[in-house]
Structure 1
Amino acid sequence: MVVVAETTCRRKLGIFQSPYYVILFVSSAVGAAIGYNKVLGTPTLWMWAVSAQEFASIVYFCAYPWLPETPVYLLKMGKVEEALSTLRKLRVGGEETLELTILQKELEDRSQTGQLSFLKMMREKRLRLQFLVAVYAMNTQQFAGIQAILMYSDQILYLAGVKYQQVSFATIGLYLQVLLAFGLFIPLHRRLGSKKVLIIGLLITDCGYLVFVISHALHEQSPWTSYIALAAMLVVTLGLQLGPQLCMTSLPSELTTSDSRPTVAFYSGCVFWTLASFTSFVFPYSVEAWQALAYVPFAILSILITVISIFLIPETNNRTAAEIQASFLEKSQQCMSPVF
Structure 2
Amino acid sequence: MYFGESAPKHLRGAVSLSSAVFTAFGVVLGQVVGLREVLGSEPYWEYLLASNAIPGFIQLLTLPWFPESPRYLLIDRKDKEACLNALKRLRGCEDQGSELEEILEEEAQSRGMKPRQPWELFTDRAVRFQLLIIIVVSSAMQLCGNDSVRDFTNV
Pairwise same-fold verdict (TM > 0.5): yes
CA distance in 2, matches of 1:72, 1:133: 27
CA distance in 2, matches of 1:91, 1:74: 16
Partner residue of 2:115? 117
CA distance in 2, matches of 1:122, 1:32: 37
Q: How do 1:93-104 residues align onto structure 2 when only pairs under 5 Å count?
A: 96-104=96-104
Partner residue of 2:137? 141
User: Quick one: higher RCO (CA 8 Å, sep 6+), 1 or 2?
Assistant: 1
Partner residue of 1:70? 69
Aligned-residue CA RMSD in angstroms? 3.2
Q: How do 1:81-230 residues align onto structure 2 when only pairs under 5 Å count?
A: 81-91=81-91, 96-111=96-111, 113-114=112-113, 116-119=114-117, 122=120, 128-130=124-126, 132-143=128-139, 145-152=140-147, 155=149
- Is 2:15 the counterpart of 1:16? yes
Query: Residue 108 of structure 1: CA displacement?
Result: 1.6
CA distance in 2, matches of 1:83, 1:71: 5
Distance 1:100 1:32, change over 3 A: same
- Percent of aligned pairs sharing the same letter: 19
1:194-216 per-residue CA deviation (whole Å, 9 max, x = no partner) reads: xxxxxxxxxxxxxxxxxxxxxxx
Query: Residue 75 of structure 1: CA displacement?
Result: 1.0
What secondary structure is seen at the aligned counterpart in 1 of 2:39? coil
CA distance in 1, matches of 2:17, 2:92: 20
Partner residue of 1:49? 48
Structure 1 runs, 4 residues or longer, greater than 6 Å off? none
Query: Residue 132 of structure 1: CA displacement?
Result: 4.2
1:256-307 per-residue CA deviation (whole Å, 9 max, x = no partner) reads: xxxxxxxxxxxxxxxxxxxxxxxxxxxx7xx79xxxxxxxxxxxxxxxxxxx
**Which TM-score applies when normalising by structure 2?**
0.74
Query: Residue 99 of structure 1: CA displacement?
Result: 1.4
CA distance in 1, matches of 2:143, 2:95: 43
Gaps of 5+ in 1: 157-283, 289-340
**Which TM-score applies when normalising by structure 1?**
0.38
